[in-house]
Each structure stands twice: as C-alpha cells, then as structure tokens.
C-alpha cells in the first residue's frame, strides 16, 4: 500500500509558542497540532517520520530549545518562547 505524499502541500514554517523550554519532542508535536494525540506523535517519531532541524529524530523525549524546527506530516513548526 502506497503512503500519500504529504510534503507536496506543506505550508511555510509556523511558530508555536510554549511557556517554557526545554519541551519534549512528543509533547511539542501534539501541542503544535501535528498529531491529535501523544500516542500518535510517539508512533511517528519511532517510525522515523519526524525531522528535527532537518535530521531524522527517533528519541521521543528529546529536549527541544527555542528555534528548533520540527517537521512531521508535511508541516514544519518552530519552538518559540512566550
């Protein structure tokens, strides 16, 4: 079964404001709206379907800092501090 190509309609990077850093990768993906649940975020990460600053990241609890870019499901979000 073919997976749909999601990168073709990706929007420009979107800043997501968080209250404090570091924030865990799986939490940020869910909070940023790239998945509907934390479980779905963890699954994407474990499948190697998440890029952190352009590199595949498989650590679910990887700590993110301000300015880090996360790409999943064809969308890019950037960590921004409130």
The total of other beta-carbon atoms located within 10 Å of residue 32's CB is: 22
Domain carrying residue 20: 11-81
Instruction: Compute the half-sphere exposure of residue 46: CA atoms within 13 Å on the CB side of its CA.
Output: 6
pTM for the whole structure: 0.85
- Give the torsion sign (CA, 5, 9, 11, 13): positive
Residue 71 maps to a domain = yes
10-residue mean pLDDT series, the chain (82 residues): 45 94 97 96 98 98 98 97 93
CA distance 62 to 74: 20
CATH of the domain at 16: 3.10.290.10
Residue 1 maps to a domain = no
Predicted pLDDT at 10: 56
Structural domain count, the chain: 1
Residue 65 near residue 52, CB atoms below 8 Å? no
Residue 3 maps to a domain = no
């Amino acid at each position: 079964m073919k997976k749909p190509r999601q990168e073709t309609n990706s929007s420009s990077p979107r800043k997501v404001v968080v209250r404090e850093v570091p924030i865990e990768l799986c939490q940020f993906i869910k909070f940023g709206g790239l998945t509907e649940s934390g479980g779905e975020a963890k699954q994407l990460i474990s499948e190697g379907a998440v890029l952190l600053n352009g590199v595949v990241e498989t650590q679910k609890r990887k700590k993110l800092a301000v300015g880090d870019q996360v790409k999943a499901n064809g969308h890019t979000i950037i960590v921004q501090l409130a």
